[in-house]
Amino acid sequence: MGSPDQVKNEAPIPKQSPLRPSMVGNEVVTCQDKMHQYPRVNLTRHEMRRCMFKQKKNSRFYKKLNAQHAQGCISGMFFLVLSNGKSSHTLRFNEDLFFIYLLPPIIFNAGFQVKKKQCFQNFITIMLCGVVGVFISAFIIVAGSRWFFPRLGFLGLTARDHLAAGAIFSSNDTVCTLQVLRQDETPLLYSLVFGEVVVNDATSVVLFNAIQKMDSTRLNSMKTLRIIGDFFYLFLASTALGITTGLVIAYILKTLYFVRHSSSREISLMVLMAYLSYMLAELLELSGILTVFFCGILMSHYAWHNVTESSRITTRYVFAMMPYVAETFIFLYVGMDALDIEKWKTSKLRCLVF
């Protein structure tokens, strides 16, 4: 690689415009000619498939995800053979391990790496899509489940079960959408989708926690208002705790002498205080996801600028490495768990396999 000045002065590679005519045989075919040849719906569907296939082919995310799933499946098959077909589930997964050790670094890095200027410029739009959209989706899912499930024979579900299902399924996953979009080409759309993803997931978790506090199986107007009140309390309190923790970390790094000019102490303090914000929110029965997310935003905006240059470089790599390890562990577990014999025996598909 050349020097930074040489890399900076290199001319960008020109991209071929989609409106530029192309040669087919000896004829020049433009986009206008193609649009006359195909119906609009078919052309749109064809272009979307082409763009998605091209993005998947060139995306490192899909290569990494597929490799990790494949490695997990191969490991599961290996342990399945060693156990004589009894079980491949040697990696015992519990929710405490996931929520205490694997989830916090992923959420924190999402807040630490977020493009703050673009997200806060579209803050109202993101909140409308992430918060109001969750309530609309949850209402539709709850209404549909209360009407459809009894006709399928599911008669034992309570009102809290329907509300919990609505809160869970209202959380959408737009990982594929973010991989298709390019941040440098569509910065506005990318920031809207990314911000909506984070707010949507956090809102669903907070709404689910508020629903779990219901002490009765019947639902009325007063209990509905109480759920909404608990939701806003958890949402605002978790956000305030994350902001406060981020500001406290920035103040400590700026004022305390024994922390300054020591990279090991600065990095250790940032990691420990970020993790402390998550654990403190869980102890107070708030949303740790929302707290650590806003803590990451405040730390990247204030605390990160109060450390030395070596600490800035190190924290960037450390905070990116920790979620990568956590995601790899999760993908490996999913691949191994796919071949767990016990789960296949208890599922309704066991008649197709055994």
Chain segment 253-280, per-residue pLDDT in tens: 888 766 667 788 888 888 999 999 999 9
Q: How far is CA 72 from CA 49, 76, 189, in A?
A: 29, 6, 34
**Residue scoring higher pLDDT (178 or 194):** 194
Q: Which of 15-24, 90-99, 146-155, 341-350 has the lowest mean pLDDT?
A: 15-24
pLDDT in tens, 88-137: 555 566 677 788 888 889 889 888 887 777 777 888 888 888 888 888 88
pTM above 0.85, yes or no: no
CA-CA-CA-CA dihedral for 233, 237, 238, 244, to nearest 10:
170
pLDDT value, residue 241 = 94
Q: Whole-number mean pLDDT of the chain?
A: 73
Sign of CA dihedral 279, 285, 288, 292: negative
Rounded Cα distance, 333 and 338, in Å:
8
Contacts of residue 218, Cβ cutoff 8 Å, sequence gap at least 6: 159
- Helices 221-255 and 187-212, axial angle in degrees (round to 10): 120
pLDDT in tens, 205-234: 888 888 887 765 566 777 778 888 888 888
Q: Select, from the ranges 35-49, 204-218, 285-299, the one with the highest average predicted confidence (pLDDT).
A: 285-299
Q: Interior CA angle at 28 toward 27 and 33, to 5°?
A: 110
pLDDT value, residue 240 = 94
Q: Does 11 score more than 80 pLDDT?
A: no
